[in-house]
Amino acid sequence: MAKSQISIYVGCLACSVILNVLLLSNYVYVGGKGELSWSRRAAEEAEAVAAVSCSGHGRAYLDGLVVDGSPVCECNSCFEGPDCSQFAPDCVADADGGDPLFLEPFWIRNAASSAMLVAGWHRMSYTFTNQSLISRLLEDHIRKLHTTVGNAVTQGRFIVFGAGSTQLLNAAVHALSPDNSSAPARVVASFPFYPVYQLQTDFFRSVNFQFRGDASLWKNKSDCTLNFIEFVTSPNNPDGQLKKAVLQGPHVKTIHDHAYYWPHFTAIPAPADEDLMIFTLSKLTGHAGTRLGWALIKDEALYQRMSTYVKMNILGVSKDTQLRALKLLKVALEGSGKEIFEFGYTTMKERWERLSDALSVSKRFSIQEFAPQYCTFFKTVRGPSPAYAWLKCEREEDKECYTVLKEAGIIGREGNLHGAETSYVRLSLLKSKDDFDALLHQINKLVAQEDGTKSII
Amino acid sequence: MAKSQISIYVGCLACSVILNVLLLSNYVYVGGKGELSWSRRAAEEAEAVAAVSCSGHGRAYLDGLVVDGSPVCECNSCFEGPDCSQFAPDCVADADGGDPLFLEPFWIRNAASSAMLVAGWHRMSYTFTNQSLISRLLEDHIRKLHTTVGNAVTQGRFIVFGAGSTQLLNAAVHALSPDNSSAPARVVASFPFYPVYQLQTDFFRSVNFQFRGDASLWKNKSDCTLNFIEFVTSPNNPDGQLKKAVLQGPHVKTIHDHAYYWPHFTAIPAPADEDLMIFTLSKLTGHAGTRLGWALIKDEALYQRMSTYVKMNILGVSKDTQLRALKLLKVALEGSGKEIFEFGYTTMKERWERLSDALSVSKRFSIQEFAPQYCTFFKTVRGPSPAYAWLKCEREEDKECYTVLKEAGIIGREGNLHGAETSYVRLSLLKSKDDFDALLHQINKLVAQEDGTKSII
C-alpha cells in the first residue's frame, strides 16, 4: 500500500513539476520578449476607452469627456442616450459637410495594424535630422501609393506637405501669383465649384491675387496678357465628374485639386500627370481630423515658393500628424491597396445605388449621371461611387431646392454656394452609415409623398 | 524509511502545488485584466525603437529610416557613427535656432505617463462632436495650467488654437487690421525683435497690413489716426527681458507674444492680463515639432476673426496634435507643475551660469544682464535662466560679430536679423545638452585665446 501510495505521490509530483515547468517557461517568455514596460499604461488606457460600448452608433475617445471615471459616448447623428442606443425618430438628416466617416469601419477592422504609440520624447525638434520639415519615409510611402494605385505620376515631382489640402490651395495661389505685377492674378474655377476656393482667396486679401468667378466666362479672353490661376477639381466637387482645364495660354497657371481622385470615388482612367497636383489624406484614408495634404510639383521654383509658404505659415506639418499618416499609409499599402479601396468603393457604390434606386421613381428630383468607365486600378469597367449627389429639384415651384429638402428633414448644401442655380443641392454620401441611413430614410419618405400626391391627383 | 520517504514526497508535492497555484494565479491575472489585444503590436513597436542604443547622443524614431531591419540612430550635433558614440572633434557648435530640446530628458524620465496610443479610428472627423475645431478638454487643461503657474489670466478670455504660435501671429495681424481702411495697418515691434514678425508680415502681402519697423521710432507719432499693431515679446526674443508696449492710443492694437513666459526662462512677477496673449507648446513642454499654440483673447469679435483665420487656413489644428498636447499637459500639471518647471529652470539656470562664468574673464565678449526678481511661482527671488544669450562683440574690429564667432566654430544668429547692430549675436541655450556642451567648449577655447593674446602682449 505504501508502495502504491508512493507511486501516486510520485505521479502527482511529476505532473505538478511538469505544470510548473510549463507555467514558468511561459512566464519567462511573457516576462522576456513580450512584456511591456513604459508603453503598457498608454496601451491599457486606449483599450479601456475603445471597450466602452456605444451601441455601434457612437464612440468614446481618449480626449473625450469623462463622467464618474467613465469615458462618455459621443453619439452619431440621430442617436442619443448614454450608450447611443436611442434612435431619435424626428431627427434631421445632415448631408452637409464632407466628413469621410464611411472609412471608419475599415480602421476598426484593422485595429492592430493601424494603432500607433507615441513616446513623450518623439520628434520634439522643429525639423527632421536633415533639417527638413517633411518625413522622408512618409514622402516615400506617398510616392509608392500613387504608383500602386496608378492615379498620379510622381517621377520628376517635388512634394510639399500642408496642414490639409486646404492650406495647400492657398499656398498654391500665393506661389503662382506674380509678385510685382500691376494687376493681381485672376483666380477662377469652372462652375459648379468647391466654394473654399473663393472663400479662401477673398479672405486672405492679397495685393497679388483676386477671385474672379467662373473660368468659362474668361475662355475667349484668356489669350491676352492677364494672369490667370484656374482651379481644376477632378473628380469635381460637387458633381463628381472628371474635369479638364478650361483656360489655356502662356499666362494661365492651373492647380489640379485631386482630393477625390481615388478608387473609392471614381474610376482611374490614367495617372494624372499635371504640373501641380494636390491630394489630401482626408479623402484617401478618411482621416479629415488629421490635417495632412500634399502637392506634387514639377517646377522647382514653385516647389520652393510653396515650401516657404508652409514654413512662414505654420513651420511645417506637426510631426505627430506625419507619423500618423505614415502608419495609415502603411496599412493602406497592404495587399497593394486592394483592401482599403475595395472597402471604400463597395461602400460608396452601394450607397449610390440605394440613393439612385430611391430616386428612380421620382419625377420631382434628379441626380447626376455617370457613364461606366474602365478603371486601371480595378482592371475592370466600373459603375459610379461619387462622394456627393448633385441633386436637382426639377419642378419650377421647387427652385429653392435647399428649402424644399430642409422642410423634409434633409440638410444639404445650397447649389448657389457652388456657383450653380438654387435648384441644385449637394448631398454628402461619404459620412457615417448612420448619416447615410438617415438621409435615405428621409429621401424615401419624400419620394413616397410625391407618389401619394400623384395618386390623389 | 518508506514513511520518511512519503513525508519528503508529500512535502515536495505541497511545495510544487503551491508554486502551481502562484504561477496559475499570476497567469490568470496577466491573461485577464492586464492582457492587451489590438494595442500590443503598436506598444511593442514603440518599445523596440526606444530600446535602440544611441549612446545617449542620439535617438531612433518610429518614423526614422530602417536599415537591415533595425531602426537607425539619428545623432545629435557633434556625434556620429552607427550608435552616435563617436565625438567629432572639429565640430561646429550650432547655437542658431530655438529647438527646445533641453526638456527631452524630462520626457524620457516620464516615459510611462507621457506615452499615448492612438487608435486607427481616433477622431477621423473634421470637428469634435460639438462642431468645434478645439478639444474642450485641452482648453480646460490650458486654463488650469495658466492658473497653476500664475502666468496669465484666463478668466473672461476666449481661446483659439493654431498650428504653433507662428500661425497665430499672422492670424492676429490679419484679425487686427481694419478691413476697409485707405491705409494698411502699420505692424511694428521694439528692436531687438523676433524676425518672424517682419518675415511673415512681408510674406503674406496683404492690402490690409504692412511691416513698418521699430516701434520706438513711431512713439511720438502714434497719437494720430494711423492704425498700429505692435508686437510685444515678453520675455523678449532675443534678449530675455520682460517688456511692455511702447505705443499707446486709440488706434494702437497690441499682440503680446508670451512664448517664453514660463518659469523655465524667467521669473513670473504677476499673471499677464493683456487683451491678446499668445503662447506655444514648443517653449512650454519642449515639443516644437508638435505644432500647437494658443491665443487668449478678451474681445469676442477678435476671437471670431482669429478663429475664422485658422479655419480658412487649415480647417483647425490636427486632432492628433491636440491629443498629444493634452497628454503632455496632464503630465506638466502633475504636482502643480513643480516637476517640469523645476527641471526646466534648473537646467537653464545652470547653463546660463556656466556661460556667464566662461565669459566673466573676457573683455572681448559680453552678454546681457538680469536683475534677480521675485517669482510668484517658485515663491522666491531667483536668478536668470534665459533661452538665449544676447552676446556682444565689444571690440571695434569685431563688429561683424557673427563672422568672428563663425570663424571660432560657433554658429549664432546675426544681430541685424533682430534689428540690432551686427556687433550682436543671439546664441541659443535651450537646445540639447550636446549642443550646449559644444557651444561652451568653443566659447572656452575662444576666451582662452583672448587670454593667450593678452599674455603675449
Each residue of A57-112: pLDDT tens digit?
999 999 999 999 899 999 999 999 999 999 988 899 999 999 999 999 999 999 99
**pLDDT attached to residue B8:** 62
Q: Pick the residue of B19, B73, B129, B311 with the most A CBs within 10 A to test the interface with A by mutation.
A: B129
Q: If you ran DSSP here, which 8-state letter would residue A206 be given?
A: B
CA B429 to chain A, closest CA, distance in angstroms equals: 14
Which of A39, A65, A124 has the CB atom closest to B115's CB atom? A39
Chain B residues 333-362 with a CB less than 8 Å from chain A: none
Paired sense of beta strands A185-189 and A209-214, if any: parallel
**pLDDT attached to residue A17:** 61
- Burial annotation B126-136 (CB, 10 A radius, 16+ → b, else e): bbbbeeebbbe
| CATH, range B49-91 | 2.10.25.30
Q: Which residues of B touch A114 (CB under 8 A)?
A: 119-121
CB pairs under 8 A between A and B: 368
Question: Across chain B, which distance is largest between two alpha carbons, in Å?
Answer: 114
Q: For the segment B167-222, what is each residue's pLDDT rounded down to a tens digit?
A: 999 999 999 999 877 789 999 999 999 999 999 999 998 889 999 999 999 987 75
**pLDDT attached to residue B454:** 46
Q: What percent of chain A has pLDDT over 90?
A: 86
User: How would residue A225 be classed by pLDDT, with cut points 50, 70 and 90?
Assistant: confident
Alpha-carbon gap, residue B121 to A89, rounded angstroms: 27
CA B177 to chain A, closest CA, distance in angstroms equals: 11
| CATH, range B136-336 | 3.40.640.10
Q: Grid coordinates 500661425 are at which residue?
A: B167
User: How would residue B5 be classed by pLDDT, with cut points 50, 70 and 90?
Assistant: low
Any B CB within 8 A of A62 CB: yes
Region of B10 please: left (phi>0), alpha (psi -120 to 50) or beta.
alpha
Q: Pick the closest to residue A321 from B109, B133, B325 (CA basis).
A: B325
Contacts (Cβ under 8 Å, ≥6 apart) of B131: none
**pLDDT attached to residue A26:** 47
Classify A98 as helix, strand or coil. Answer: coil
Any B CB within 8 A of A210 CB: no
As annotated, the residues of chain A forming the CATH 2.10.25.30 domain(s) are 49-91
Which range among A32-36, A386-390, B277-281, B412-416 shows the weakest confidence by mean pLDDT?
A: A32-36
Alpha-carbon gap, residue B455 to B447, rounded angstroms: 12
**pLDDT attached to residue B221:** 72
Answer yes or no: do B38 and A47 touch at CB < 8 A. Answer: yes
For residues A399-419, average pLDDT:
98
CB atoms within 10 A of CB A407: 9
Q: Which residues of A touch B289 (CB under 8 A)?
A: 123-127, 318-320
**pLDDT attached to residue B4:** 60
**How far from A127 is each of A160, A242, A311, A347, B289, CA to CA, in Å?**
14, 38, 11, 39, 7
Q: For the segment B220-243, what is each residue's pLDDT rounded down to a tens digit?
A: 775 567 899 999 999 999 999 999
Q: Which residues of B touch A41 (CB under 8 A)?
A: 112-113, 115
**pLDDT attached to residue A28:** 42
Alpha-carbon gap, residue B315 to B328, rounded angstroms: 23
Instruction: Report the run of H or E that residue A297 belongs to, with start and end.
Output: strand A293-297
Q: Which residues of A touch B326 (CB under 8 A)?
A: 63
Instruction: State chain A's mean pLDDT as an integer.
Output: 92
For residues B257-285, average pLDDT:
98
For residues B144-153, average pLDDT:
98
**pLDDT attached to residue A16:** 64
**pLDDT attached to residue B29:** 40
**pLDDT attached to residue B28:** 42
Any A CB within 8 A of B10 CB: yes
Q: What percent of chain B has pLDDT over 70?
A: 90
Higher pLDDT, A4 or A93: A93
For residues A4-22, average pLDDT:
60
Q: For the segment A345-391, what is each residue's pLDDT rounded down to a tens digit?
A: 999 999 999 999 999 999 999 999 999 999 999 999 999 999 999 99
CA A193 to chain B, closest CA, distance in angstroms equals: 17
Q: For the segment B79-137, what is each residue's pLDDT rounded down to a tens digit?
A: 999 999 999 888 999 999 999 999 999 999 999 999 999 999 999 999 998 899 999 99
Residue B250 has pLDDT above 70, yes or no: yes
Cell numbers describing residue A457: 391627383
**pLDDT attached to residue A9:** 63
Any B CB within 8 A of A183 CB: no
Q: Which residues of A touch B12 (CB under 8 A)?
A: 13
User: How would residue B17 be classed by pLDDT, with cut points 50, 70 and 90?
Assistant: low
Any A CB within 8 A of B140 CB: no
**pLDDT attached to residue B15:** 58
* B249 class by beta-carbon count within 10 Å (0-12 exposed, 13-18 middle, 19+ buried): exposed
Q: Pick the residue of B125, B292, B308 with the most A CBs within 10 A to test the interface with A by mutation.
A: B125
Architecture of domain A93-104+337-448 in this structure: Alpha-Beta Complex (3.90)
As annotated, the residues of chain A forming the CATH 3.90.1150.10 domain(s) are 93-104+337-448
For residues A307-333, average pLDDT:
98
Residue A410 has pLDDT above 70, yes or no: yes
* B145 class by beta-carbon count within 10 Å (0-12 exposed, 13-18 middle, 19+ buried): buried
Q: For the segment B338-377, what is each residue's pLDDT rounded down to a tens digit?
A: 999 999 999 999 999 999 999 999 999 999 999 999 999 9
pTM of the model: 0.92
Residue A457 has pLDDT above 60, yes or no: no
Give backbone dihedrals phi and psi of B369, rounded to 5 degrees, phi first: -115, 150
CA B368 to chain A, closest CA, distance in angstroms equals: 27
Q: Which residues of A touch B60 (CB under 8 A)?
A: none
CA B55 to chain A, closest CA, distance in angstroms equals: 16
As annotated, the residues of chain A forming the CATH 3.40.640.10 domain(s) are 136-336
Q: For the segment B389-420, what is each residue's pLDDT rounded down to a tens digit?
A: 999 999 999 999 999 999 999 999 999 999 99
Higher pLDDT, A1 or B192: B192
Paired sense of beta strands A252-257 and A276-280, if any: parallel
Report the chain A residue with the minimal C-alpha distance to residue B76: A129
Report whether A143 contacts A277 (CB < 8 A).
no
Q: Which residues of A touch B306 (CB under 8 A)?
A: none
For residues A187-206, average pLDDT:
95
User: How would residue B19 be classed by pLDDT, with cut points 50, 70 and 90?
Assistant: low
Report the chain B residue with the minimal C-alpha distance to residue A98: B126
Q: Which residues of B touch A164 (CB under 8 A)?
A: 314-315
ipTM of the complex: 0.92
Contacts (Cβ under 8 Å, ≥6 apart) of B323: A62, A63, A320, B116, B118, B122, B123, B135
